[in-house]
Structure 1
Amino acid sequence: MTNPITPPASATPRASQTQLADVSLGAVRTTAPTVEHHDEPLGIGEERPRLSWRVTTGARNWVQERYQLAIRRVGGGTARGAEHGDTTGWIDSAEQVLVDWPFAPLAARERVEIRVRVTGEDGVESPWSPATTLETGLLAPRDWDARFITADGPGEPDGPAPLFRREFTVRKDLLSARLYITAQGLYEARINGRRVGDHVLAPGWTSYRHRLHYQTYDVTELLLPGANALGAMLGNGWYRGYLGYWGARALYGDQRALLAQLELRYADGTEQRVVTDADWSWLPGPVLTDDLYRGEHADLRKEPAGWDRAGHDAARWQAADVLDTDPRILTAPDGPPIRRTETLPAVSLSESSSGTTLVDFGQNLVGWVRITASGGPGTEVTVRHAEVLQNGELATRPLRTATSTDTYTLAETGETVLEPRFTFHGFRYAEISGPPGLAIHDVEAVVIGSDLRRTGWFSCSDPLLERLHENVVWSMRGNFLAVPTDCPQRDERLGWTGDIQVFAPTAAFLYDVGGFLASWLRDLSADQGKDGNVPWFVPDLMPTPSPPTAAWSDAATVVPWVLHERYVDRGLLARQLPSMVAWTDCAARETDETGCWRAGFQFGDWLDPAAPADAPSAGRTPPEVVATAYLVRSAELTSLAAETLGELETARRYTELAERTRAAFAREYVTASGRILGDGQTAYALALHFDLLPTPEQRRHAARRLADLVRSGGFRIATGFVGTPLILDALTEAGEAHLAHRLLAQRQAPSWLDPVTRGATTIWERWDSLLPDGSVNPDGMTSFNHYALGAVADWMHRSLAGLAPAAPGYRSLRVRPLPGYLTRASARHLTPYGEAEVAWRLDDGAFHLSVVVPPGCTAEIWLPDDRVPEHVGSGRYSWSVPYPVGAGAQLQRTTSVRSLIDDEPSWTRLVKLLQSIEGVTFADDRALVKLAVPNLDRSVADFVSRLVADLRPGRGVDAAEILAELEEADPHA
């Protein structure tokens, strides 16, 4: 039987028959340079920042030959004032991503403008680009005059959020003002009654013992000639609140503290500094309690009127205490801050079964509820949150101890806008009680997250797949909040290393995470043990060191390599190589005399659907198989990183380790014919995708066994956190892409699309977070917003749409779409070199492909059934080649059962025919699959005859009739 998913070879002409789009030449322009991974390069921490730029042109095959950079020092942010510009002269290089800083190192507080221009092969110079203004922050401890101040006594992790204030005088000839600020805890700063900046939950979360971010704000416009006031409110946040699933709090310290340094520069060159010191005063504020897990309680009656303005009566305010904190932990951020990124209106307002007001926002999200409430002084407003409903009420059990409740006490009559300052929640539904006359337009959801720039998009002909992809995006948005967390709602919200290890490629396509994950990797290195061990989550909070754990700790090698692959970031690779080496050495020490890693605790293939509910690590694939496979992977990635950086001896050493471990894996876990220990899908996916099988025969057998396991599983998911991101790639590489499509398109549980058909708007933690009867999984570890299993989106981008990097930074693209059951798909990605796009459709018996290759890049183009690719340079291209749709051959009695199962329309037809026999029932097609598995190599005629005889013995059912109906029907019509 011919598989309907793949057309006959004769249907596709060679790539030499390609039709190229007619694209006219265009002028060459360069974008304003970008600085490191900063979208807003104010207060950066690099004195020699790397620069990047993109080129726009309609000219085909354009490649940069030379570039020139210009710098001009400008006033307002530099103590040295304006200076004349300077240029580099022409530099012969095609590099345009993260190129080295060619000028003298920048000093602290220095402000410059940068421009670039380029030439191509024709030597024509582009115009100078628009200017990018960048400004350094405080680069060394000596740049800080401020001291940390606190209102908390030692050993007192309770109490209202304190307000701090200080008045000062500003002259009329103010030129510029910068506020450098951070906190032990969370801060919200105010000047003259106005909020400073738009960051929320600042300064974010880092490994506070090693690194504490400070922020830089241009506050020039907030200051007035004469008397001014600078104030701030402090919350607990990650520093002092509850943190972790074991009920701990104040893990970093029990004293919230503020550090602020306001620097004013005047037209005559003089400077003035207002810094936190003993001259500041404090008073308990209106936020009585605040916690990231439990929520926030504010009594608005307790906020002193005008406290953040000059002239406030501060007689009741107390002097702040000064702390002795090491300024060496202070560092400028690598990535964007947390912000409000969107607001969503309520889609319904209803009464719950208990009589409370329920609000549905139609989307599981991360943030909080903003309410315009009415009521007199003393009116209490309470907001509770949950991701799903159970029996018409909020399902709060999955939150565990995270009560996720915000309460407000109103201060005055009339409308008041309510929203918290120092907490966040994961929710779709909210229960609101207290305010009278609440209407749907009085309520909206505020979405927050690290303010990442979107860079990737996907579309296809299946609305369910598009919704699945959108769910992946929303789960990433909710969990990329300061650090890449596992979930945003319960008492956890930790930077689990295993989750980001599998999800990093998807993340790097959807958003620019270069700076965000570079910052997280700094924390990983800082928290890494002296023995090289990497903790289960970063920042590390464990009371005792976690044991070395495969696939989780391997984030130390996988994530840096992904970032280099997607952003050409050799600098990050060089910085992380010692961490990669240390982890790989640590894992290697865990091996025994066989060369395999078999001892110690492992998560294994976490949440394999076959694992018992109370033992999610006990999946079908033995943990030692996972651990040894990942040791090979980490050794290879460490070798590749070292080779990329020119450290050839290090590269050789880890290549040898990879080969030794690969041989040990095959020796201990693989039979001569290719059967792998555990015989689970994850074991074969690891072995195939990580290239762990030494002989072609073993690889062919493993590929065939994996395919049969997918068939025998009824095309339902049979993998957990480790296998799920690999299974579709392993099938594709094994020549079984049609099975990958069947697995992805499955709508019955467990599958990617089952939650979508049941209304999910984010990715679930468990395949059965919601049970078939609609009830919430009773296990204590149940989340409806986990991005890990959404790692499948990477395959959707690379294989379904066909847009993949073939060289770091997408300098070369690999365009190889796999149409499958879809009639169209597209992917668009803003690469470091410019926008790349692949779009294809099946129409009128033809396959139509259009491709955009960014300037300076090349692409290899694979049309369906091509054996070799066509290579093109930058530009816009299109192809149209014959592609019969619905080309499945008519069923033959001699067809094998394996091929019958692969042909979904024919298989579905057989299921229906058998179910029509009186007295024969199948709960679903899996019951028939179990009967088919021992007969995969038999003919359809033999299988149906045996099956009918077994199903209806002595009842006169004629197998020939079923075969005739199966043959006569054309399921592909």
Structure 2
Amino acid sequence: MQLFGLTDLRCEYRVNPVGIGNRVPRFSWKLTGTGRGIKQASYRIQASEGDPLFQTLTWDSGQVRTDQSVHIPYEGSPLKSRTIYHYRVRVRDSRGAESDWLSAFWETGMMDFAEWTAHWITCDLELNNRSPEASQMFRKTFEAGESPVSARIYATALGIYELELNGKRLNENKFLPGWTSYHKRLQTQTFDVTDLVRRGDNAIGITVADGWYKGRIGGHPNNFYGDQRAALLELHLKYEDGRQEIVITDGSWRVDTGPIVMASIYDGETYDARLEKEGWSTSSYEDDDWLPVSILDHGKQMLVPEENLPTRVMRELKPIAVLRSPAGEKILDFGQNMVGWVSYSVMAPTGTIIELAHAEVLDRDGNLYTDNLRSAKQTTRYVCRGSGSEVYEPRFSFQGFRYVKVTGYPDDVSLESFTAHVIYSALDETGTFECSDESINQLQSNIVWGQRGNFLDVPTDCPQRDERLGYTGDAQVFIRTAAFNMDVASFFTKWLRDLKADQLPSGGVSNTVPDTLPGWDLHSAAGWGDAAVICPWTLYLCYGDKRLLEEQYDSMKLWVEFIRNLGEEEFLWNSGFQFGDWLALDAPAGSYAGATPKDFIATAFYAHSTDLLVKAARVLGKEKDVAEYEELHKRVLEHFNLEFVSKNGRLVSPTQTAHVLALGFGLVEGTVRTRVEQDLIELLEQSNHKLTTGFLGTPYLCSTLTDIGRTDLAYKLALSRDFPSWLYSVEQGATTIWEHWDGRNADGSFWSADMNSFNHYAFGAIGDWFYRVVSGIDTDSEQSGYKHTRIHPRPGEGLTYARASYQSMYGEILSLWTIEDGIMIIQITLPPNTTGTVILPNARQEEVTEGGMRLSESYGIRHVVPQEKDIRLELESGSYRFQYAWRL
């Protein structure tokens, strides 16, 4: 008997989201069951405003005959702000079985900025003889006549903030309200505080630090977005008799500074425990000596309910060793390059200063190496209170580190006293990859840790030096790998909205999002600005999110038109600022840009973005645009070949990146393509199979070799341990991805002090090749979001085993292969309500068995199509085990 049911009911990618602003939210679920061929035949959704029993409905879809189980839009009565909605789903499968109801809820935030009645409150600290670097603490007491049945706080800040209510800190979520293009979009958060408000006197506290808003960022001094921190808050109380009360930020609040005397994104945090104001967020605290607040004249039109998943402490690590450096330093080694902070316990006399300096690596002598941090100090200081055991944990700064130099700690530095708190956006980890080569497994771990460290509200380039910016180039080259490793749909949706908000009227795109370079001419570089097109299209492929594609379409189109109108030549991109193939090893001396001509790269990306725009227009039914941009793409290809291909079919640029882009983007055809393929192979052979590519060539290198039938060369590159290679850094002990192939030399010396991050995920884009080629998991672009999965594992010399899993929106996809004693075993899992195409490599139909049976006898296999060397199978959902003799 087949078991059948539902699981993982979600609203806008989230389980029971609170405070969202979607006026037409979408629902998704997964089917469960045993056996093969499980398929949804129909669904029914019911929604109710505040009624978990569904006795009164705002929507009843009725029985809808479809197999769609993701992105089902709400079609009921218009939604209200600050309201909880319950919904439930029941489905029938193709055999007529019906599931039980599965229920969940979502809650709307303050959906319209005009609803806010609170005022922005602030205080000029310097004018009131307080340190302007110190964090501000705002407080307010209020009275509740009785315990409310519902209490919600809606809040945001100019700066980053934490909330307290009746002495309890609310923030499991860190660095609120997150980093957006603040003048255009500022997120607000919703907190359920029903259980914390009590009858009688209560108190609210808000601490606000500089954060990205007022602190220095992106090479700018302080006050990049504004010169005053401020808080905005409303507490809405609902009572059993229907009464409602609102507490708002206004002139009645009080403000002061406290123990956080400095907090900076780059420089760290200084905390003086002697300045603590015990009980400051309780109603009994005496605040007569506190300052009155000022009302800040700042608009609210930019306010939007929270879109991204919040930053949280996601892991905790203990140090693995205490080192004594040649310079006499006490250094903690946490064994993993990470992002976050370190907490510790201590007993010391009052006024004792404990300092932690954070770094990614040690120098060749074993001392803490901080030159690559440039001006970022990455230091926390704690001034002891001097009364018993004290525990310190930073709150408003983060560091990128593996090693921590401890100064001033009064006792022996013990492993037990220190804990590293790893922070990043709270993204579900959806993918796993492992194989028979432990170095590759370490590389995969490095890729994932690089993503953890740099996906902190925005996709940063690096998390340690005085940069930490949302570089568009890094994001677009890594996004496909990122979408395998984690559920990044909400993360990139929010970021792309900022990209669109910061996009220039001309269509140009900042090289960082949010834009930290306004007014500069250094924007809209090829491979960077193209994130406007590449990222939405990739999210559509991975999640089937047609709404996001529609939302970003104008931005995508505007970017292509920007290129089209740039300079004097409509069909070539040969003007404007360019990074080129950043950090390629064939760069001329004294340059960061590789040898591939910048106009070659720019025109290649011009063609690529135009091609993706055509595909997006086709998905969205914009046939007029399809015709127009197909013609533009054709003309760009013509001019590319006239400009960059010789009469004999040779590319004018003899670099690996030039050949990879020409092939990977489909810029050459026929005999020219054949020649370019041969030349790429020759270039690799001339270099003894050493890569020379940079940020823009590397992500496409191995996949392009696979596309031209030379997966064997891709394996040689991927498994190489010599410099330059992905595994070279692993051999040097790396635990994250390096910015440079030679970030650290074998003798312990460093490539550079100016630009040498050891946690920089761009070259980690090789992870996409592990998933899509080695294990073979890919989505079908015609049925995006893994509704139909293509699985084509491609074993290669050097591996005898590979396993990848991916938690799609339909459920887990698995591809596992092993080769032992001349026998190939391939295990496949396709989740319910999906289908798949599976390619069995180097297989003969008469030799293949599935679960011990011939293919023609196996249930769930719809078609068997022998090909030149392979067998193509069309499968229903379920798990399969294929076995056959392996021949190369």
Shift of residue 548, structure 1, vs aligned partner: 2.6
Quote the residue 1:368 is aligned against.
341
User: Hey, what's the Cα distance between the residues in 1 that align with 2:366 and 2:696?
Assistant: 35
User: Hey, what's the Cα distance between the residues in 1 that align with 2:878 and 2:66?
Assistant: 21
- What does 1:8-19 align with in structure 2 at a 5 Å threshold? none
Of 87, 96, 105, the residue aligned with 1:133 is 105
Matched, 1:665 2:668: no
Quote the residue 2:883 is aligned against.
880
User: Hey, what's the Cα distance between the residues in 2 that align with 1:247 and 1:281?
Assistant: 31
Of 443, 452, 468, the residue aligned with 1:477 is 452
Shift of residue 868, structure 1, vs aligned partner: 5.2
Matched, 1:851 2:828: yes
Matched, 1:835 2:812: yes
Matched, 1:721 2:695: yes
Shift of residue 123, structure 1, vs aligned partner: 2.5
Quote the residue 2:480 is aligned against.
505
User: Hey, what's the Cα distance between the residues in 2 that align with 1:115 and 1:32?
Assistant: 12
Amino acid in the other structure paired with 2:880: Y
1:684-705 Cα shifts (integer Å, max 9, x gaps)? 11111111113x2111111111
Shift of residue 376, structure 1, vs aligned partner: 1.5
- What does 1:415-426 align with in structure 2 at a 5 Å threshold? 415-426=389-400
User: Hey, what's the Cα distance between the residues in 1 that align with 2:795 and 2:883?
Assistant: 14
User: Hey, what's the Cα distance between the residues in 2 that align with 1:51 and 1:836?
Assistant: 21
User: Hey, what's the Cα distance between the residues in 2 that align with 1:354 and 1:531?
Assistant: 55
Shift of residue 598, structure 1, vs aligned partner: 1.5
Quote the residue 2:171 is aligned against.
197
Of 556, 577, 602, the residue aligned with 1:580 is 556
1:269-297 Cα shifts (integer Å, max 9, x gaps)? 11111111000000111111110101111
Quote the residue 2:324 is aligned against.
351
SS state at 1:537 partner:
coil
Amino acid in the other structure paired with 2:559: W
Quote the residue 1:38 is aligned against.
14
User: Hey, what's the Cα distance between the residues in 1 that align with 2:474 and 2:459?
Assistant: 8
The size of the alignment, in residue pairs, is 854
Q: Is the 8 A contact 1:69 1:115 kept in 2?
A: yes
SS state at 1:873 partner:
strand
Deviates more, 1:732-741 or 1:220-229: 220-229
SS state at 2:274 partner:
helix
User: Hey, what's the Cα distance between the residues in 2 that align with 1:417 and 1:82?
Assistant: 50
Shift of residue 354, structure 1, vs aligned partner: 2.1
Shift of residue 780, structure 1, vs aligned partner: 0.5
Of 623, 626, 630, the residue aligned with 1:651 is 626
SS state at 2:277 partner:
coil
Shift of residue 674, structure 1, vs aligned partner: 2.8
Q: Is the 8 A contact 1:97 1:832 kept in 2?
A: yes
Matched, 1:536 2:511: yes
Amino acid in the other structure paired with 2:449: W
Of 741, 753, 774, the residue aligned with 1:800 is 774
SS state at 1:652 partner:
helix
Quote the residue 2:123 is aligned against.
151
Q: Is the 8 A contact 1:672 1:698 kept in 2?
A: no
Pair 673,180 (structure 1): closer, same or farther in 2 beyond 3 Å: same
Matched, 1:50 2:22: no
Pair 259,405 (structure 1): closer, same or farther in 2 beyond 3 Å: same
1:113-143 Cα shifts (integer Å, max 9, x gaps)? 11111122223222212x1111101111232
User: Hey, what's the Cα distance between the residues in 2 that align with 1:215 and 1:592?
Assistant: 47
User: Hey, what's the Cα distance between the residues in 2 that align with 1:193 and 1:110?
Assistant: 27
Q: Is the 8 A contact 1:32 1:115 kept in 2?
A: no
Amino acid in the other structure paired with 2:115: D
Q: Is the 8 A contact 2:114 2:301 kept in 1?
A: no
Q: Is the 8 A contact 1:509 1:829 kept in 2?
A: yes
TM-score w.r.t. the length of structure 2 is: 0.94
- What does 1:552-951 align with in structure 2 at a 5 Å threshold? 552-590=528-566, 592-593=568-569, 595-612=571-588, 614-617=590-593, 619-694=594-669, 696-806=670-780, 807-821=783-797, 822-865=799-842, 866-867=869-870, 869-884=872-887
Quote the residue 1:110 is aligned against.
83
Quote the residue 2:860 is aligned against.
none
User: Hey, what's the Cα distance between the residues in 1 that align with 2:589 and 2:289?
Assistant: 57
Deviates more, 1:353-362 or 1:747-756: 353-362
User: Hey, what's the Cα distance between the residues in 2 that align with 1:690 and 1:489?
Assistant: 34
Amino acid in the other structure paired with 1:107: K
SS state at 1:705 partner:
helix
Q: Is the 8 A contact 2:187 2:305 kept in 1?
A: yes
Pair 261,837 (structure 1): closer, same or farther in 2 beyond 3 Å: same
Of 348, 369, 374, the residue aligned with 1:395 is 369
Higher-strand-fraction structure: 2
User: Hey, what's the Cα distance between the residues in 2 that align with 1:32 and 1:54?
Assistant: 6
SS state at 2:615 partner:
helix
- What does 1:457-496 align with in structure 2 at a 5 Å threshold? 457-496=432-471
Of 63, 67, 77, the residue aligned with 1:94 is 67
SS state at 1:604 partner:
coil
Shift of residue 171, structure 1, vs aligned partner: 2.6
Pair 779,197 (structure 1): closer, same or farther in 2 beyond 3 Å: closer
Shift of residue 70, structure 1, vs aligned partner: 1.4
Higher relative contact order (CA 8 A, sep 6+): 1
User: Hey, what's the Cα distance between the residues in 2 that align with 1:412 and 1:55?
Assistant: 58
Amino acid in the other structure paired with 2:678: R
Quote the residue 1:283 is aligned against.
256
Aligned CA-pair RMSD: 1.7
Q: Is the 8 A contact 1:39 1:336 kept in 2?
A: no
Q: Is the 8 A contact 1:342 1:447 kept in 2?
A: yes
Deviates more, 1:772-781 or 1:417-426: 772-781
Amino acid in the other structure paired with 2:471: W
SS state at 1:809 partner:
coil
User: Hey, what's the Cα distance between the residues in 2 that align with 1:530 and 1:592?
Assistant: 19
User: Hey, what's the Cα distance between the residues in 2 that align with 1:118 and 1:153?
Assistant: 59
Q: Is the 8 A contact 1:43 1:215 kept in 2?
A: yes
Quote the residue 1:329 is aligned against.
302
Shift of residue 593, structure 1, vs aligned partner: 3.7
Q: Is the 8 A contact 2:255 2:291 kept in 1?
A: yes
TM-score w.r.t. the length of structure 1 is: 0.86
SS state at 2:40 partner:
coil
User: Hey, what's the Cα distance between the residues in 1 that align with 2:175 and 2:143?
Assistant: 29
SS state at 2:785 partner:
helix
1:713-769 Cα shifts (integer Å, max 9, x gaps)? 112221000110001111111111100000101100110000001100000001011
Q: Is the 8 A contact 1:199 1:337 kept in 2?
A: yes
Name which one, 1 or 2, has greater alpha-carbon Rg: 1
Amino acid in the other structure paired with 1:626: I
The gaps in structure 2 that reach 5 residues or longer are 843-868
Shift of residue 671, structure 1, vs aligned partner: 2.3
User: Hey, what's the Cα distance between the residues in 2 that align with 1:471 and 1:305?
Assistant: 42
Q: Is the 8 A contact 2:359 2:370 kept in 1?
A: yes
Quote the residue 1:453 is aligned against.
428
User: Hey, what's the Cα distance between the residues in 1 that align with 2:436 and 2:395?
Assistant: 42
User: Hey, what's the Cα distance between the residues in 2 that align with 1:392 and 1:870?
Assistant: 56
Of 527, 535, 557, the residue aligned with 1:551 is 527
Amino acid in the other structure paired with 1:313: E
Q: Is the 8 A contact 2:51 2:86 kept in 1?
A: no
Q: Is the 8 A contact 1:161 1:285 kept in 2?
A: yes
User: Hey, what's the Cα distance between the residues in 1 that align with 2:115 and 2:805?
Assistant: 44
Give aligned-pair identity as a percent. Answer: 39
